[in-house]
Chains A and B, each alone.
Chain A
Amino acid sequence: QVQLQQSGPGLVKPWQTLSLTCAISGDSVSSNSATWNWIRQSPSRGLEWLGRTYYRSKWNNDYAESVKSRLTINPDTSKNQFSLQLNSVTPEDTAIYYCSRGGENYLDPWGQGTLVTVSS
């Protein structure tokens, strides 16, 4: 059974970097059949997919255009986890952030969610 455990700060100052980690148990970040995704949810934007990392003979990333210039998603094979780094955050980035495993064209399971507030 795959489980995802998120960690990271709940408060980030404007223009700083938001960093979150998603630890994987029951699967490998290097799996050739899974993708590892970040999604956020806010009242104004609803559920918004941010991007993913996945291994298919080499590491690949896909990012949403809305955050592409500010977002990096990296795998960490030594710790079997993946991370999100979102630069230059503003209050519009305030949201609940989720990690999720993508497999067979659906998202399951999801991490527990992290409420991140951007405020000075």
Chain B
Amino acid sequence: DIQLTQSPSSLSASEGDRVTITCRASQTISSYLNWYQQKPGKAPKLLIYAASSLQSGVPSRFSGSGAGTDFTLTISSLQPEDFATYYCQQSYSTPLTFGGGTKVEIK
């Protein structure tokens, strides 16, 4: 199985901050990496697919980059509605696997 390691597991940030979350795969997964946002009591919501493609309707302050084993999710200017938990997920091979999550909290 492909393991995904996210860092950090949590972070505190202020509105307007630039936030970067990383995801490292245990083997190369090309660009088969997706990012999701989850708020309490809700299902995960797709933000970025294929490492860097912005899902329709997602604000442009979200961006993704990387290929191979190292990937990054960036929020350019953190907004109040962005406080949530973020997960990476690989679709290179089954079983599909997820990172452990990064909780973004208010500083």
Which residues 41-80 of B sit at the A interface, judged by CB distance below 8 A?
A: 42-46, 49-50, 55
Interface residues on A, range: 20 to 34
CB-CB under 8 A from B96, the residues of chain A are: 37, 49, 107
Chain B: minimal CB distance from A51 (Å): 8
- A-B contacts at CB below 8 angstroms, number: 53
Chain B: minimal CB distance from A45 (Å): 10
CA distance in complex: A20, B46 (Å): 23
Which one of A46, A49, A108 contacts B95 once the chains associate, using CB atoms below 8 Å? A49
CA distance in complex: A62, B34 (Å): 20
Given known pairs A110-B43, A112-B43, A113-B43, the reply for A105 and B98 (CB within 8 Å) is no
CA distance in complex: A108, B58 (Å): 13
Besides A48-B98, A110-B44, A113-B43, 14 new A-B residue pairs in contact (Cβ under 8 A), listed by A number: A37-B96, A46-B100, A47-B44, A47-B101, A49-B97, A102-B91, A105-B50, A105-B91, A107-B34, A108-B55, A110-B45, A111-B43, A112-B43, A113-B42
25 CB-based A-B contacts, threshold 8 Å: A46-B100, A47-B89, A47-B98, A47-B101, A49-B95, A49-B97, A62-B94, A62-B95, A64-B95, A98-B43, A104-B50, A105-B34, A105-B49, A105-B50, A106-B46, A106-B49, A106-B91, A107-B34, A107-B36, A107-B89, A107-B96, A108-B46, A108-B49, A109-B43, A110-B45
Q: Which 3 A-B pairs have the closest CB atoms?
A: A110-B43, A47-B98, A105-B91
Q: Which residues of B contact A (CB under 8 A)?
A: 32, 34, 36, 42-46, 49-50, 55, 87, 89, 91, 94-98, 100-101
